[in-house]
Structure 1
Amino acid sequence: MTPDHGTATGEQIAFGPLTITFDERVLRPRAWTAAQSEWAAQLLRDAPAGPVLELCAGAGQIGLLAVHDEDRQLVCVDANPVACAYTLQNAAAAGLGDRVEVRNGDLSAMVGDDERYALVVADPPWVPAADTGRFPEDPRLAIDGGTDGTVVAVACVEVAAGHLPPGGSLLLQLGNVEQVDTIAATAGAAHGMTLDSTRVFERGVVARFVRG
């Protein structure tokens, strides 16, 4: 895949040391989510060898910042072809073009059965469907998390569980602690993913799930 869809004319924003390009068809990068990247980078220092998987990657900023100073390959998955084109463009701009693979499609079908990852990061849509109208500036595809906001997050847990080694981590972004608890009690328990810790930020939370 090569960048298209007019990506060269998108808006630019600083995300840590990176410059991320995007437009209104892609969720605007939130500055606070750099904390998810920083946590991922910390975990990677002691993680086994292997690539990083980013699910619901958007313009790719979280995964790119996570591996920016790490010698890791990165695989980014997103359902939006425009977001995928921006991820490729942003990877090249960060000097990471040779370490990043971008896959466009449903996340449950984009990862091969035999693929294993040292770490999975995910920023799924987590706004309940009934509340998406409160955010007219955001693309609905990027924020609509279904009835309770956890539908796509559940899919991320399922994918991570099938592609992490024992002890491997998923860093999952959600809207609040209640959603984290719901995921832990349902999808986490069903797929052998244990909630390790949760970090609360002004506009969301990041939870670490560990594969048993």
Structure 2
Amino acid sequence: MRLTKFEHAALLLEQSGRKLFVDPGSFTTPITDAANTVAVVITHEHPDHWTPDQLRRILEASPDAMLYGPEGVVRAASDFAVTRVDPGDTVEVAPFSLRFFGGRHAVIHSSIPVIDNVGVLVNDTLYYPGDSWAVPEGVEVDTLAVPAGAPWMKIAEAMDYVLEVKPKRAFGTHEMVLSVAGKSMAADRLAWATAEGGGEYVNLQPGDSLDL
């Protein structure tokens, strides 16, 4: 399976000529190469993780692609046929196996309602928590996509999360809210945390790919 990182939270997984997109949102350049997409996973309803325009572009290229998200996404994206997924669900959409964890977005502030959020484990290999620190219980994570910057987090939380999950490999995501200097500092801290657990940190940039 091959992973390509896009800007911010968007990821592309490819296997056997098929594609899976995760969180194609407003901070990601327009997705135009979407032929042979079998599924799109949207972890939660915030626009930096999905937009109608991104979904339309994907579906124009692959009209039979399945869309998956929690109840909040089903409501927010009511113009699209989103299949609801909840923590504990497993979905098979060949050649991808999707397992869902978590359930709730991290707290941004006491004045802002907490929304639905699911983390997704793809082919028992890549885990992405969305906007949460949900640990996939009972899973030895091979590769972790870890948030590097957001209004709902501080770097100490990301470091502690990596220390708890102990992935064999990790890379930063959700970083478009950071300056160049901030991205570098976050990468250094996350690299330290990954190494503490015996893993390797890969400083992927938008457009970079990685074989999983």
- TM-score surpassing 0.5? no
**Structure whose residues are more often strand by fraction:** 2
TM range (shorter): 0.3 to 0.5
- The structure whose residues are more often helix, as a share, is 1
TM value normalised by structure 1:
0.42
